[in-house]
Structure 1
Amino acid sequence: MAVMTLSSRDFNQGVSEAKRAANEGPVFITDRGKPAHVLMSIELYQRLTRGRQKIADLLAMPGVADIELDVQRSSELAQAADFS
């Protein structure tokens, strides 16, 4: 999988080239030298997001209300605030 990096200016001047490159792998678009956006083919996007469910869908599953969850409270993470 080829990865390409373009500045925003180069992307604006060569959108067709960027779209062709996205068929080969992700195209990183930078703003002032820092990655800001990623252009990818729909096939790659679908492959990356396949099988992931949204939390709202999981909570709406039938029978979820019958699940018991016993969570032990941990005092290790809690600390008193220091306002000095």
Structure 2
Amino acid sequence: MVTTLTSREFNQDTSGAKKAASEGPVFITDRGRPAHVLLTIEDYLRLSGGHMSLAEALAQENAEFDFDPPRIAGDISRPADLD
């Protein structure tokens, strides 16, 4: 389902626009002409090929990440080879 809102309607009911975006794209118009599109992050990732930069991922409002890198066994340092 596609929803169209004027800029004024969007400003007055941002929460409603976000709810509508869960059902499909929300077109936001300026002076009667489409100017912006509001999408869920899932729809955006699907359309963009699923690629998100680290900066975009961290900029999400509710970003939560599990980061558990593997431990490296043994000594990882070695003397410099100056020859």
Query: The TM-score by the shorter chain falls in which range?
Result: 0.5 to 0.7
What RMSD in Å do the two structures reach over aligned CA positions? 1.3
Q: TM-score w.r.t. structure 2 length?
A: 0.59
**CA–CA separation in structure 1 for the residues paired with 2:11 and 2:50:** 33
Report matched runs for 1:6-25 at 5 Å: 6-25=5-24
Unmatched segments (≥5 aa) in structure 2 = 52-83
Q: Which runs of 4+ in 1 moved over 2 A?
A: none
Q: How many pairs are equivalent? A: 51
- Does 1:41 pair with 2:29? no
Match of 1:28 in 2: 27
Task: Give the Cα–Cα distance (whole angstroms) in 2 for the partners of residues 34 and 40 of structure 1.
Answer: 18
* d(CA) in 2 for partners of 1:12, 1:30: 12
Structure 1 residue 50: Cα displacement:
1.1
Assess, with a 3 A threshold, how the Cα gap between structure 1 residues 42 and 31 changes in structure 2: closer, same or farther. Answer: same
The amino acid across from 2:43 in the alignment is L
Question: Sequence identity of aligned pairs in percent?
Answer: 67
Assess, with a 3 A threshold, how the Cα gap between structure 1 residues 51 and 41 changes in structure 2: closer, same or farther.
closer
**CA-to-aligned-CA distance 1:15-66 (integer Å, 9 cap, x gap):** 00000000111000000000000000000000001168xxxxxxxxxxxxxx
Give the 3-state SS of the residue equivalent to 1:16 in structure 2.
helix
Aligned residue for 1:24, secondary structure, equals coil
SS of the aligned residue for 1:50 comes to coil
TM superposition score normalised by structure 1:
0.58
